[in-house]
Structure 1
């Protein structure tokens, strides 16, 4: 080979980019749209990572997760969802309620979205069919919203002589009106009066509890809403301070000292979101993954709280409780 041919060959090779020694291929990135803060979401994140592991993915090993936290400011969700879209993540996980999935859906029609919520995704317009969701969305739905009237029934069973109950409602929730409507039907059937109390910020929480005795209500029933669920410790402390019998959707409430909770098993629903995210990373399409329904509903009763309120929980309730805290 002539010298000028060798120089030409080396010049051509100089334009090539050779992989660095030991360089690994890029791992897929999951975008996680969180409505709260990591601390409030710790148990749910653990369940999500368990589901992801069932499909063979572990954060830091073969998948990365980009978190965007709204810190309870739900008006920030659309901006955070758009940020994940601009990041060009492989899939967006939108857990924790209707507000989150609606923000994610508005941000993209192409990136797969795995949602987790407590209401009916068809009624919310998220999917057209549970068995064959079209477009880029699928996910998990629990029964937390649908069983809201059952919370009123449990409170009435505990306090049969009460002629009225107060209901805590977040007016910004997309499911607020339907839940109040269902509660009103249940109240009519039970022959009790309902007083709807609105709260969408932490500053309004105390007024919920101070209103109960003023309204001569037997207790306080919380509608299903993630904003309430993630503030269970604060609500339990207020219930104890004002000596108000209350029931919420989240087991975190009685675990923190509140009286009762009744709602879907959030650990199971969040684990399913991890499984679906992993299956999508492996190449499955959202439209081929039916919306999962978490049918397990949990009743938690805190007998210590009942005793401090001077209440005796009837055996009929204790016998059907999933967990009794003594």
Structure 2
């Protein structure tokens, strides 16, 4: 078995250690440590008047606790209030966006939980409908029309998964293949969406972007 996960596979119980996974499993992972706080900083830089920032989370997810802790720390450092909006299904996602929309121009950080990352088109559509500036975990969100994303370069992750799968087919044992961490992160900005939201993305921020979608 070759996995690709966001988060600590040892903490999740998938493997016993990074160097010696144990059992018939190995894979790749990207730790979100530091990434959530950076997402909040990037969003705050893009929507400077915001004094409140929302966080869409699945309270049943293993990533919710660590993400919330990191976002609270980043919010305190920036002097903004963090507003947590919980959702455990599609209906509650719709409700969360509608609730946030009642507060004018409150930007939103999207959790890395699969409930959200598996629904890019729906989340982007809701953000557009309610005119909510949002930052997402991965590049397929701004590609679908979302404002921006900051997160792991999953193309790198999938390349490593393919590499490991090929080695296992040729006879390598998963337990002998150390778990690989994806360290490259990328910033993607959709300028068309920014204009539609009435936002002017600062030039220094555009200069740091790995890709700008016109």
Does the 8 Å CA contact 1:155/1:247 hold for their aligned counterparts?
yes
Which shows bigger deviation, 274-283 or 295-304? 274-283
Q: What is the aligned partner in structure 2 of residue 4 from structure 1?
A: none
Query: How far has the Cα of 1:161 moved from its partner?
Result: 2.1
Provide runs of 4+ in structure 1 moved above 6 Å.
Answer: none
Structure 1 equivalent of residue 173 of structure 2: 285
CA distance in 2, matches of 1:274, 1:172: 31
Query: Partner of 1:297 in structure 2?
Result: 185
Q: Pairwise mapping of residues 6-85 of structure 1 onto structure 2 (< 5 A)? A: none
Instruction: Kindly state the Cα deviation for residue 200 of structure 1 after the two structures are TM-superposed.
Output: 2.1
| Mapped contact 2:146–2:190 kept (Cα < 8 A) | yes
In 2, Cα distance between equivalents of 1:143 and 1:178: 11
Deviations 1:209-253 (A, max 9, x none): 222243456201001122211211111111111111011102111
Partner of 2:124: 236
Q: Deviations over 1:81-105 (max 9, x none)?
A: xxxxxxxxxxxxxxxxxxxxxxxxx
The corresponding residue for 2:80 is 192
Shift of 1:287: 1.7
CA 1:240–1:216 in structure 2 vs 1: closer, same or farther (change >3 Å)?
closer
Larger Rg: 1
| Partner of residue 120, structure 1 | 8
RMSD: 1.6
- How far apart in 2 are the matches of 1:116 and 1:239? 28
Question: By how many angstroms is 1:278 displaced?
Answer: 2.1
Q: Structure 1-normalised TM-score?
A: 0.62
Match of 1:44 in 2: none
On the 8 A contact 2:101/2:130 being kept in 1, the answer is no
Give the 3-state SS of the residue equivalent to 1:154 in structure 2: helix
Q: Which residue of 1 aligns with 2:149?
A: 261
Q: Distance in 2 between matches of 1:190 and 1:137?
A: 41
- Residue number among 13, 28, 51 corresponding to 1:163 in the alignment: 51
Distance (whole Å) between structure 1 residues aligned to residue 31 and residue 197 of structure 2:
29
Separation of aligned partners in 2, 1:145 and 1:302: 25
1:299 Cα offset (Å): 0.6
Q: 2:25 aligns with which of 112, 131, 137?
A: 137
Q: Confirm or deny: 8 A CA contact 1:163 1:192 kept in the other structure.
A: yes
Work out the number of aligned pairs and report it: 214
Paired with 2:163 and 2:60, the residues of 1 have a C-alpha distance of: 30
CA offset digits 1:54-85 (Å, max 9, x no partner)? xxxxxxxxxxxxxxxxxxxxxxxxxxxxxxxx
Deviation string 1:23-63 (CA, Å, 9 cap, x unpaired) is xxxxxxxxxxxxxxxxxxxxxxxxxxxxxxxxxxxxxxxxx
Quick one: distance in 2 between partners of 1:189 and 1:145?
Answer: 16
TM-score (norm 2): 0.93
CA, structure 1 residues 239+191, in 2 after alignment: closer, same or farther (shift >3 Å)? same
Secondary structure at the aligned position of 1:319 is classed as: helix
The 1:161–1:195 alpha-carbon spacing in structure 2 relative to 1, beyond 3 Å, is same
Distance between the aligned counterparts of 1:299 and 1:185, measured in 2? 21
Between 1 and 2, higher relative CO (CA 8 Å, sep ≥ 6) is seen in 2
- Displacement after TM superposition at 1:125 (Å): 2.9
